[in-house]
Structure 1
Amino acid sequence: MADSNVNSSEQVRLMTWAVPRSVSTAFTKLMSYVSEDSTVLFEPYINAHWFGPERLQDATHRATVAALKEEADRRITYTGGSDVSDFTFGFVKEQLEAPHTGKKLVFCKDMAFTVVDKLEFLPKDYRHLFLIRHPLKVFASWKKLYQSLTPHEFELDKVVPVLFPPGFFFREVVELLEHVREVHDPKAIIIDADDLLSDPKGILSALFKEVGLPFDEKCLQWEAGESAAGQWLASNLLPKGNEVWGFYRRAMGSSSFGKPRALPDRSSLPGDVLRCTDASMSYYNKMYAQRLTGKLYAHL
């Protein structure tokens, strides 16, 4: 039961900005179990950017969004969660800055590319975490996911910009990091997903110390299934998207972090994945060099 006497100065607020396919949904599940007194917001800026009333209004985007929503509505009826029509950028900022009285942790996971042109809607008084992963893994997995949505052949770097941003996610996450460190959180944290998978205890204990959360090894195991997600503040497209396309199926079925897979062989990957990777490596390397490592805290 939540402690209504939790002082706002004791409340930890953590924004996590991810690149796609970086175990960010599994990480969100883990954070759901860190404290019984927590609020978890899941991808509110994505909903505003892709589906809300302020979304980009070009014809291709309208057609893509309409087709996705029609398919989801045709295959499943779900009445939980907030309607996507609520998700203006101002609404998201208000939800994040709400007092969330009695909560020891307020956690939000989202994608950096959704706010690089909407920086005035970033919330105040949050610590910021950036979750990255090697571009070869990101784009190989992202293309596989996209392929599940369409029977047609396509190239990632020719997908409409609203779905696949011009900086291929990595340029945008660096731009957001630089802004956040200048304006909001000079000590914004970077974690590489494969470091997290390889050494969850070391990485999480370091992260929790940095943001002021108590670390308990029990958080390295969590309940499989979607019960935690049912408590998240999210739009009604979250369960629909997972049910219809399995966007989060693996993460929802998880109960711990698995070991990271080896980098895929470049010779086995299509040209668009390689082009996106090569365009993104300088941004990734810049952030990787500044990442948090558990080794720094091994003696504590």
Structure 2
Amino acid sequence: MSTKPIFVATHPRACSTAFERVFMTRRDTLQCVHEPFGDAFYFGPERLSERYEKDEKGRIESGFSESTFKTIFERIERENAEGKRLFIKDITYYLVPPNGKPASIAPSIVSYKRSSGTDTTLLPDGPQLTKPGPPYPYDTAAEPGNPTVVPSALLAQFHFTFLIRHPRASIPSYFRCTVPPLDAVTGFYNFMPSEAGYDEVRRVFDYLREIGQVGPKVAASATTGDAVNGSAASGAENGGVEICVIDADDLLDNPTGIIQAYCKSVGIDYSPQMLKWDNEEDHRIAKEAFGKWKGFHEDAIVSSELKPRAHKKTPKTDEQLYAEWAEKFGEQGAKVIKETVDANIPDYEYMKKFAIKV
């Protein structure tokens, strides 16, 4: 069974912060790291996103204008030295150039090497960015097939799992965070379809399968022990890191079953108490961890448990959904949401094929 740091790779508005709160209760054995790579993606000298490109003041005021991929991995390494297993939840596209642009390795980690016979990550100083204008594209080499700006040898240090949610739910939820009145809280003043995140989840997932870092075995139900999809090969050649994909709707319908199956897949001892966090210390830690992305995590911050929703979602027609979006966001907003949803459904449905069933 793998004991690598767990990396939950997801997209925005996938109920991932509620999922993360479950594992934040296991402070005895886990050290949770909340969305670290957004610092470099949005604000730092290696930033990939255009969102703050013309807002130097905003980048500086964020407190992360000096964050590089190197400084983030060094933080993760420090956290990993505390004797607990790391549990990292992050947005997959933070590691991937937007809009399908070809990837090359981030300058600060281009010289990554793994020290022989130890668990120490060596990150010597890489070349400095000196070109005018946006940092990306970098003047560095690419790794064949690698869609991320992180060397495959560094990706290999993590136990990757994946969390998805249907675009019909996630996209309008994200759109809401980028328009009045919530945009004044989030600081995201426009909706960018490139931040939907499904394409990046799929490409990173397929790359990790291609290089043998995850799979071929697919995670099984905690109760049956049977592979739920795909090959039932042992997976021993990659340390037992099986394919593990969670769908948020399955999680919300059956949190106990899904969390049990997930724990079994990644090698965490399950306890029913993981699903409850209604105490002062849990709330304090969550508020501190989620505070930097204001407006995005309020529901998770004020929550006290993860329990099954009272009623399973009743599917709505495209016409019903469009009417709801138009009522909330206007005709133009509804049009943008529908176009973004439609563009991302194929990638969601592809990932859904691998999702744990209980």
Q: TM-score, normalised by structure 1?
A: 0.75
* In the alignment, structure 1 residue 254 sits paired with structure 2 residue 335: no
Check whether the contact 1:18–1:24 (CA below 8 A) recurs between aligned residues: yes
Matches within 5 A, 1:76-91: 83-91=63-71
AA in 2 matched with 1:120: P
Q: What SS does the aligned partner of 1:227 have?
A: helix
The 1-side partners of 2:208 and 2:264 are apart by 20
The 2-side partners of 1:211 and 1:53 are apart by 34
Q: Identity percentage over the alignment? A: 25
Q: What SS does the aligned partner of 1:61 have?
A: coil
Check whether the contact 1:13–1:105 (CA below 8 A) recurs between aligned residues: yes
- The 3 A distance-change label for structure 1 pair 53 and 129 is same
**Tell me, which stretches of 5 or more residues in structure 1 are unaligned?**
1-8, 73-82, 233-237, 296-300
Check whether the contact 2:52–2:59 (CA below 8 A) recurs between aligned residues: no
The 2-side partners of 1:65 and 1:87 are apart by 14
Check whether the contact 2:40–2:69 (CA below 8 A) recurs between aligned residues: yes
* In the alignment, structure 1 residue 211 sits paired with structure 2 residue 266: yes
Q: Greater RCO between the two (CA within 8 Å, min separation 6)? A: 1
* In the alignment, structure 1 residue 165 sits paired with structure 2 residue 145: no
The 1-side partners of 2:66 and 2:3 are apart by 26
Check whether the contact 2:277–2:305 (CA below 8 A) recurs between aligned residues: yes
1:12 is displaced (CA, Å) by 5.0
The 2-side partners of 1:207 and 1:33 are apart by 15
- The 3 A distance-change label for structure 1 pair 10 and 22 is closer
How many residues are matched?
257
Check whether the contact 1:19–1:132 (CA below 8 A) recurs between aligned residues: yes
Match of 1:185 in 2: 214
- The 3 A distance-change label for structure 1 pair 241 and 205 is closer
* In the alignment, structure 1 residue 288 sits paired with structure 2 residue 352: yes
* Structure with greater helix share of residues: 1
The 2-side partners of 1:62 and 1:88 are apart by 15
AA in 1 matched with 2:151: E
Matches within 5 A, 1:1-300: 11=3, 13-56=5-48, 61-64=52-55, 66-67=57-58, 83-98=63-78, 100-116=80-96, 117-120=148-151, 122-147=154-179, 148-149=182-183, 156=191, 159=192, 164-165=193-194, 168-183=196-211, 184-186=213-215, 187-223=242-278, 226-229=283-286, 232=289, 238-242=290-294, 246-258=295-307, 259=309, 262=314, 265-268=320-323, 269=325, 270-293=334-357, 295=358
- The 3 A distance-change label for structure 1 pair 30 and 113 is same
- The 3 A distance-change label for structure 1 pair 10 and 231 is farther
- The 3 A distance-change label for structure 1 pair 65 and 11 is farther
Runs (4+) of structure 1 moved beyond 6 Å? none
If you compute each CA radius of gyration, which structure gives the higher value, 1 or 2? Answer: 2
- The 3 A distance-change label for structure 1 pair 261 and 95 is farther
Root mean square deviation of aligned Cα:
2.9
Residues 146-167 of structure 1: CA deviation (Å, up to 9, x unaligned): 112169xx974xx3xxxx427x
Check whether the contact 1:13–1:106 (CA below 8 A) recurs between aligned residues: yes
- The 3 A distance-change label for structure 1 pair 205 and 280 is same
1:102 is displaced (CA, Å) by 4.8
- The 3 A distance-change label for structure 1 pair 96 and 179 is farther
Check whether the contact 2:166–2:348 (CA below 8 A) recurs between aligned residues: yes
Check whether the contact 1:100–1:106 (CA below 8 A) recurs between aligned residues: yes
- The 3 A distance-change label for structure 1 pair 111 and 262 is farther
Check whether the contact 2:243–2:354 (CA below 8 A) recurs between aligned residues: no
Check whether the contact 1:97–1:124 (CA below 8 A) recurs between aligned residues: no
**Tell me, which stretches of 5 or more residues in structure 2 are unaligned?**
97-147, 216-241, 326-333
